Amino acid sequence: MSVRAMGVLSQACRLGRLAQVLRQSHRSAPAAFNIALGSQHSPAALSLRRFTTETKQASGPVVDKHEFQAETRQLLDIVARSLYSDHEVFVRELISNASDALEKFRYTSLSAGGENMAGKDRPLEIRITTDKPLMQLIIQDTGIGMTKEELVSNLGTIARSGSKKFLEQMKDNQQAASSEASSNIIGQFGVGFYSSFIVANKVEVFTRAATPNAPGLRWSTDGSGTYEIEELPDVELGTRIVLHLKTECREYADEERIKAVIKKYSNFVGSPILLNGKQANEIKPLWLLEPQSISKEQHHDFYRFISNSFDVPRFTLHYNADVPLSIHALLYFPEGKPGLFEMSRDGNTGVALYTRKVLIQSKTEHLLPKWMRFVKGVVDSEDIPLNLSRELLQNSSLIRKLSSVISTRVIRFLQERSKKQPEEYEAFYRDYGLFLKEGIVTSNDQTEKEEIAKLLRFESSKSETASGRMSLEEYYNAVPQEQQNIYYLAAPNRVLAESSPYYESLKKRNELVLFCYEPYDEVVLMQLGKFKSKKLVSVEKEMREESKEATATTDFGEGSLLRSELDSLIPWLEEELKGQVVKVKPTSRLDTHPCVITVEEMAAARHFIRTQSHQVPEQNRFALLQPELEINPKHPIIKKLNKLRGSDKDLAQLIAKQLFANAMVGAGLAEDPRMLLTNMNTLLSRALEKY
């Protein structure tokens, strides 16, 4: 045996061992065809150096036998195990390759010299055939096809992309049509074809280039380390891939299974996809069409398709941009009320990410902030770099930029709807206002908070009807420019808001006050902090701040207790309520109420009572809240209490405790109002003793 033959045999043995390892994996090595065949930017570009080991001249056709040589033993295992998290994506990859082949043919036929292309008038389509008895899946395109040199170059090397090279050539040539053609080329990396070996134990590629007099070729391999190329007659123009499926992957020879995968990943590929003779991708990629050319019925059908729902969109945002990123977005705002899973922050966003009409992720995290999870639709961007499998995004900073652009556009769109379609927006706000408030609480950007805040709506003290809500911007424009605060009051409903002791003094001054009826509204406004140049201030806090400035007041109006009487009553109350209030003081801001409780941050205090107070002993709870009791020296109950201290000490003590308890309930700081009943019943018994 010659030295050369011995070397060939030794090399074949080494590759045989590699193939044996790969066969043990259920997701063995994939291999790439005419388009998506390799990344040229990776410094560790995974290539299989091809060399000819044997050329046989027999009585039949010429068969060239080649070998794959791996740079590392783990190469194909990485392709099979690491790049694809779901077996079914091989269908997407092969369809993307076929689509690229069609686009290459379409572009080349329109370029200089394209008039000599073979079969220029043939239909450009992708044909898929399933064969259950033979456990075969056949994917064929009528595109550019491959020459023998391209077969060796593209399919003989992992991570070599025909599409990438094609785009680079167009860029070098600077041809006029390159922009449009490049936007339709999907393949950017060179392992898509090799995903075939996740499900197949043998792959055959029949191809014929569109150049004049190009021969028909057959490329085949069983993934064992070698592949063969031979010339065949009567091969159709384009490329046909025959996958001989593994037994455990026989499901991919079923028409319904392939149809479901096409619908999921490749429904919007530009060329027709025929599955066993019937078109499988009938829905158009509406986001790439001119907005004015799309009918309402098309929007309804498309919305139901992408959202898997049965309602219709309330609003539609069709957005196209070239800067700062290339974006084609079609977003819908549902008409129906949010579902249980949408209310949960654990739910996924409803926006799918595409690149050049091929699905990357159906529920894309970080594309929109969590609070926008009610938005449904599609975002397609040619600028997104993808990893080899098109499943994980490589450049998170670019995704953050994309998210920022789209989020800003969504907020601006809703602001436009609130002005142009106020009634429709009001209905939307009733159903989805909670999400907007969540956006304010979770955002770390004050500018973004204020932009979202423009979408909020509240009833006000000057609303003529309960439905007459106003925005923060309307409040800002309605009050004098020198007014530094925007006042709001939290109450369960309008009746309680208007009768609140905290509202009395502002009502006298005819101040504009926003009424917040939801428990979380005041937390939202506290998180917002300010709107434009004005601070957002709760009326409780405003009352406490003003009372600090009025500590030296001696005249509390006609009929009030004298200062000397107050100097005696206040220490007595502080002693009786020791451990519950930190201070008792008179106020002139009350009219019909005997007293009121103030704390430093009422919204935070109420939130604490609702969520965490049950974990804290009562004494510690009051120490944390630091409540102050403000009494009205003009109120009959306070004046009578002052007299009772001398004549009936026990009754005076009961009244003092009840006044404090009532004030805590009025402030929304009572953990359980039922605790009032014991003291209240005792007080009633004492009051009825004389009868």
Q: Helical H runs in 83-177?
A: 89-110, 148-150, 162-173
CB neighbour list of residue 608: distance below 8 Å, 6 or more residues apart: 624, 625
> Which residues touch 306 (CB under 8 Å, ≥6 apart)?
332, 352, 376, 377, 378
Largest CA distance in the chain: 129
Residue 671 contacts residue 614 (beta carbons within 8 Å): yes
Please tell me the predicted confidence (pLDDT) of residue 203: 92
In tens, the pLDDT along 100-125 reads 899 888 878 877 666 778 888 889 99
Task: Count Cβ atoms below 10 Å from residue 450 Cβ, excluding itself.
Answer: 18
Q: How many CB atoms lie within 10 A of CB 463?
A: 15
Q: What is the pLDDT of residue 85?
A: 64
The reported pLDDT for the residue numbered 195 is 79
Q: For 188-219, give the secondary structure using H, E and C.
A: CCCCCHHHHHHCEEEEEEEEECCCCCCCEEEE
CB environment 155-180: b (16+ within 10 A), e (fewer): bbbbbbbbbbbbbeebeeeeeeebee
What is the DSSP code (8-state) at residue 251? G
pTM of the predicted protein model: 0.71
Distances (CA, A) of 413 to 342, 447, 477, 660: 21, 16, 22, 49
Lookup: tokens for 285: 């990629």
CA-CA distance, 536 to 321, in Å (whole number)? 36
φ/ψ (deg, to 5) at 55: -120, 120
| Short-list 372, 368, 379, CA closest to 334 | 372
Residue 475 is predicted with a pLDDT of 94
| CA dihedral of residues 262, 91, 148, 8 (deg, nearest 10) | -170
CB 34 within 8 A of CB 192: no
Residues of the chain whose pLDDT is less than 70?
A: 1-61, 68-85, 112-114, 156-191, 340-349, 385-396, 464-467, 546-555, 690-691
Question: CA-based angle 502:504:505, to the nearest 5?
Answer: 95
DSSP assigned state of 311:
S
Q: Helices (H) and strands (E) in the chain — how many of each?
A: 23, 23
Angle between helices 521-528 and 602-611 (to 10 degrees): 130
What gap in Å lies between CA 274 and CA 533, rounded to an integer? 61
